[in-house]
Amino acid sequence: MDKVSVLSERSTEAKEIRRMVFFLCCVFAPLWGVGIVIPFLLALVFSLLKDYPAEEMQRLFSAHRLFPIFMVFILFLCSVFFSSLYHTESKWGSTEGFWVVLSAFLFFVLGAVIGAGTEKQRLLLYLKIYFFLGFLLVFFTIVAVKKYNGGIWGNRNDLTAAVLMIVGALCGIFCGDIKKKREMVKFLLLIPLVAFAFYFSVKVTASDAALPLLIGFFFFLSILVPGRYAFTVLWFFFLMIVCFGIAYLVFGEPFNFQALLSARRLESFLSFRPQSWLASLTMVQENPWTGIGSGLYKEFYKTLLPLLPGKKAVLSHSHCMYLVHFVAHGVVGGLAFISLLAFNLRMVFSSMKDGELAPFALLTAGIWFFFLTYGLVELTPASRELVPLVWGSSGILAGLHSKAAARK
């Protein structure tokens, strides 16, 4: 290889690393409180796209694997935009508002650019490093700066979602990359972080859903991991959890199952969510085409209050990620959002068939497991600070998936 070729290759590698590092920093930075992430995107777009060939960009988004997701995302974005214009009182920066949806779209696009334009092994290494460092930063912020109240720390449910998603991402990418017996030692790095996630779910979070979701994720992951060594690691970890649980029941304080299953406990767990879901469906029925607009919760109160006789008015919303866009933007926006989730899930499961893409697919699956399950009872997973984490990771997988399909 001549000197010019070597220099060209090094220059390309340096550009890839610069794009990747800047993108991953922008994925984690919003957790500490930039709020709406649009300002971050201005610098990010310039950094990532100034050296990216236009023909490669066109080839990426015209690929048959990525084109349907791209078009559904644009349909969803347009429906949110027109709904926001129609309802002049819409709050464009709310969870379901236009700026947050636009941020999701842009991070998906930029993630796809990173995935398609970076060598897989280099990308795998950097994702491991950055998700590991990201979790450590979250951990030290929780432990050492207990009074910090910015970003996801301003809402305990947002913090819970972030902890669960990052743990899911780490477990997915490390377990997906265990292919040989000697590589099983990789999971030792995760044990302290997973242990903290369990501690967090029991002692720190205000959400009753955190612990069951965390345990459910490990069952989900044990089914999906492609290698028998990764499967062995996960089930050994499960045995540790089971043994610890039995020891706690035997030697710890008596466990009051009757109190756990009491009507008061059930009411606390559901927290009037069934009534919120019924109110959401009523509002969709009354406003099927235009919705009620973004962030207009006063309209929601009026529908919800008759379903809560004798209760005081509380700040409330649909408490379901799957219903919020139907309520805010109408049937078209809601269906576009559900279709977008379905296309992304199809991409995740399809990528798991490719051994080279399995670690990236399991990383995305680890994030999306909590995004989709926690989203059944909360809007928290769609929080604007979490948008880069959810849609950036999905975009990276989309770029890799599209590039792999193009080579076949």
Provide the number of structural domains found in the chain.
1
Furthest-apart CA atoms within the chain: distance in Å:
81
State pLDDT tens for residues 227-279: 888 888 888 877 877 787 777 666 766 655 555 555 555 555 566 777 788 88
For residues 374 and 325, is the Cβ–Cβ distance under 8 A?
no
Query: If you write DSSP's letter for every residue of 110-179 in order, what string do you get?
Result: HHHHHHHHS-HHHHHHHHHHHHHHHHHHHHHHHHH-TT--SGGGGSHHHHHHHHHHHHHHHHHHHHHT--
Average of per-residue pLDDT values in the chain: 82
* Count of beta carbons in the 10 Å neighbourhood of residue 250: 7
For residues 300 and 350, is the Cβ–Cβ distance under 8 A?
no
pLDDT confidence bin for 318, thresholds 50/70/90: confident
**Alpha-carbon gap, residue 254 to 231, rounded angstroms:** 33
Residue with the larger pLDDT of the pair 11 and 232: 232
Residue 271 identity: S
- Mean pLDDT along residues 315-340: 89
- 24, pLDDT greater than 90: no
Closest among 38, 60, 63 to 114, alpha carbons compared: 60
- 179, pLDDT greater than 90: no
**Alpha-carbon gap, residue 219 to 261, rounded angstroms:** 24
**Alpha-carbon gap, residue 248 to 271, rounded angstroms:** 29
Tell me how many degrees the CA angle 287-288-289 measures, rounded to the nearest 5. Answer: 100
The token duo for 352 is 């798991």
Per-residue pLDDT, 55: 65
3-class secondary-structure state, position 41 = helix
The token duo for 9 is 């290759």
Residue 272 identity: F
Helix extents (H) in 271-357: 273-286, 297-304, 321-351
- Mean pLDDT along residues 274-303: 82
Residue 140 identity: F
| DSSP class of 90 | -
Per-residue pLDDT, 38: 61
Per-residue pLDDT, 1: 52
Q: Which residues contact 225 (CB under 8 A, 6 or more apart)?
A: 175, 176, 178, 231, 234, 362
Closest among 312, 398, 315, 392 to 350, alpha carbons compared: 398
Closest among 339, 390, 383 to 366, alpha carbons compared: 390
Per-residue pLDDT, 169: 95
Per-residue pLDDT, 364: 96
Instruction: Say how many residues make up the chain.
Output: 408
Residue with the larger pLDDT of the pair 277 and 357: 357
**Alpha-carbon gap, residue 221 to 191, rounded angstroms:** 15
For residues 135 and 166, is the Cβ–Cβ distance under 8 A?
yes
Task: Note down the domain range covering 266.
Answer: 3-407
For residues 77 and 341, is the Cβ–Cβ distance under 8 A?
no
